[in-house]
Amino acid sequence: MLRFIFSFFGAIFSVVTMGAMMVALTIGAVFWMYGRDLPSHEHLAQYSPPTISRIYSAEGRVIDEFAQERRLFTPAREIPDMVKHAFISAEDKSFYTHNGYDPRAIVSAAIDTARGNTRGASTITQQVMKNFLLSGDRHVERKIKEIILASRVEGALDKEKILELYLNEIFLGQNAYGVTAAAQVYFNKTLSELAPHEAATLASLPKAPSDYHPVRRKDRLRERRDFVLKEMFENGYIDEATYQAEVAMPLKSVQNGDFEPYQRSLPPRDYFTDEIRRQLSRDFGEEQFFSGGYSVRATLDPEMQGQAALALRSALEKYDRSRGEWRGTGKTIPADTLGDEAKWREALADLRVARDIVLEHPWHVAVVREVRDNSLLLGIEDVALDDPRGMTVPRSDTDWFKGSLFDNFEPGDVIHVRQMTQDSDGAFIRWTLRQVPEVQGGFMAMDAHTGRVIALQGGFSYQNSVFNRATQAMRQPGSSFKPFVYASALDSGYSPATIVVDAPIEVDTGAGVWRPKNASHQYYGPTPLRTGIERSRNLMTIRLAQEVGMDIVASYAEKFGVYDRMGLSIANSLGADETTLFRMVAAYAMFANGGERVEPTLVDRVQDRYGSTVYSHESVFGNKRVCVDCDNPDLPQGQAPRIADERERVMNAVTAYQLTSMMRGVVDRGTASRTVNLSVPTAGKTGTTNDAKDVWFVGFTSNIVAGCYIGYDTPRSLGRGASGGGMCGPVFNQFMQEAVKKYGGGNFKVPEECQFIKIDRFSGARLPADASGPNVVSECFRLGEEPIFGVMFDGGFAISGTFDVIQPDGSTVAQEVTTSTGDKAIVGPKAGFGTLSSGGLY
């Protein structure tokens, strides 16, 4: 009997033992089978999650952010313990004691599932494995893989690193990834500013953020928050007094209107930061830029950017209103919403209309609620109906465009308005109608010595049109290109006093005869280069380009970066080849700084997420500048330290000064004299293309270079009288008046190789040293080179037809000239073939 009992229990033990061994072998086989081809967890130690890239102004203020996922990476050591404890209490209370998975939680979850109450049992480590290494395959298989990987990771990484991965990777709704971004999105706070109930709110979200929306599911979220607070109390992370106080706190959030959104603290995105995005996406790769967590220090001067926008917008609006046409926004909302304030406000908010315009005052989006005989009744976004300023625009405000109110407006039309105020005391006068101009333009300003772009405006409104006309619009520069023709001539031995004939010509283009003209449709005969550029003489420029050679002119334009490859057509000497304002302003900077290469930049430096500098403008070859004698304690009295650089010289210093001096004449008495008037020496050049389709002005002081372009996106004439001086000159002048206040300015540096001789700027004749008068100019000539006076150039072109030679006083007196062979010839009145040689020097 005893033997039977032992045999029976022995058999049972054998069966149990064999069964346990089979179960163990089966489990081992399952884990071996699923563990063979699992992804490596080793790279998690170096994992860098996609993170927001931020752009900072020169003053260190955040001005824009770019990201695919809104995440701000925060090392574990910088995450407050209270935040960690909230998530551990909510998701994995045994996190610090288990080895990656929690057997008791797994068994408990299995029992609950068998009873029909499905719940999760994943530890934080398992969730990290799911988020980082595993795909969404079948549930049981993925759980097995999670357990295997979690146990491996626990042996490779410490708990803090695992928690760091989890708290930076987890999705918490509202496009917020990680706790730092979530704190900003839900509370507009940093992690260190969070109260326990706010940390508990964030810890309530990982299971299903959409199920715990702070507005739509507010009660459910609060219930979950209170549960997390209770867990924190029971786990010993907060005391009872704190628990009682925090659980009594109301549930507040940005989404509920309790806090200002973080985005509201940022300025509206504009052309400057979007151009940085475009350039860095090209340099680093778009995906890397949007996810790399870069800190970008921009060269932007916010004050001057505001001035650039104001100056350009003022000119564009002035031109648009002169056309006398109302277009509005072209947007409408259903008329049947106008009787319900909530409905029309909601409809307005949903419309994509420019809301980034400030011109004297911010522009408001509004809807026409009723058209009356003598006024429009409006509904204005962000302005209450009972606002004391009222809701009407009087008929008198519409005198600038054609037609009656009924001709131009219907109920439901979406428009822009701004307040009109008294200049003296700012008192409100009335609401006034505004519209985004159809004509567009661009403006750019930069430091001529460092290349730092301080302002960049690519159109009237970024929200209306993101196309950047300063950097992307390829347009003909017109006469603003002429300085490069003159630069190539000056570097080839010509001088500001060299005489070139201003007379009509004909060019056989192969497709017909081209007969270029001066803008004045007049001809001035033998004229010095200085007057040619001051008065923007087309025919002189063509003859000069022909004398120098278009291949030389093109090489200069390419060396200055105006073009990558310039066409050699003679018409291109007048700026017929297309380029961008960005390139033109950068090229003019090399005139302003004395002929040294300078590369424009919108970025001072770029740092990665760890603070390492990956780009610095000053360290790029050719940009380095050093202070000589700054550390020299024995510097002789009266001698100051100086800044030296390694920049390439692209133009002789004397040539740069000669050209700058000639371009000062453009501002002082030439084509820009009526509109550009600054308190410091200023040089520049106007540009107006055929039929005035594009107008330009690019100019500079001793330290700041700026340029303006205006034209339609689909080129068409701006109308009679449109010119670079008349339209872009005021933009440049308005901006530079403020720039001079901030950055100063002074005389242009005179090279030591200059010798000054007084000449007559109309005839080019040498004058005595004591000569004075409006026709006298002191010209720089190269030291050691004896200037030659009285020799004239015509570029090898014959004179086309009979013409009057206009004298400086407007008369048409005949003039005798000496040719290069010593012969005499008569120019004007009615000069033509037979009176002047058709080619070469004369």
Specify whether 837 is catalytic.
Answer: no
Residue 493 CB contacts under 8 Å (≥ 6 apart), including other chains: none
Type of residue at 566: M
Tell me the helices (H) and strands (E) count for the chain, helix number first.
Answer: 22, 30
CA dist., res. 818 & res. 807, Å (int): 18
Q: Are residues 364 and 416 in contact, defined by beta-carbon separation less than 8 angstroms? A: yes
> Exposed, middle or buried by CB within 10 Å (0-12, 13-18, 19+), for 799?
buried
Interacting residues of 337 by C-beta distance below 8 A, sequence separation 6+: 343, 344, 347, 412
d(CA 840, CA 824): 15
Rounded Cα distance, 101 and 119, in Å: 15
Coil/strand/helix, residue 62: strand
The rounded distance, in Å, linking the Cα atoms of 225 and 219 is 10
Give the position of tokens 């926004």. Answer: 329
Distance CA 681, CA 345 (A): 52
Are 338 and 367 in contact by the 8 Å Cβ rule? The answer is: yes
Q: Which residue has the tokens 């509004």?
A: 366
Question: 3-state DSSP call for residue 46?
Answer: helix
> How many other CB atoms are there within 10 angstroms of residue 1's CB atom?
5
User: What does DSSP assign to residue 728?
Assistant: I
Taking the C-alpha atoms of residue 345 and residue 391, their distance in angstroms, rounded to an integer, is: 14
| The one catalytic residue among 151, 479, 763, 837 | 479
Distances (CA, A) of 201 to 87, 141, 237: 10, 32, 16
**Structure-token pair, residue 295:** 């800190």
Question: In angstroms, rounded to a whole number, what is the distance separating the alpha carbons of residues 490 and 652?
Answer: 9
CA–CA distance, 642 with 577 (Å, rounded to integer): 40
End-to-end CA distance of the chain: 142
CB contact at 8 A, 95 and 159: yes
Q: Rounded CA gap, 417 and 362, in Å?
A: 9
The candidate with the shortest Cα–Cα distance to 655, out of 705, 591, 701, is 591
CA angle 67, 351, 377 (to 5 degrees): 145
CA distance 799 to 801: 6
Q: How far is residue 406's CA from residue 539's CA, in Å, rounded to a whole number?
A: 52
Is residue 303 annotated as part of the catalytic site, yes or no? no
Residues 333 and 244: their CA atoms lie apart, in Å, by: 50
Q: Which of 57, 89, 91, 596 is catalytic?
A: 91
Instruction: Give the separation between CA 347 and CA 334, rounded to whole angstroms.
Output: 8
- Residues with active-site annotation: 91, 479
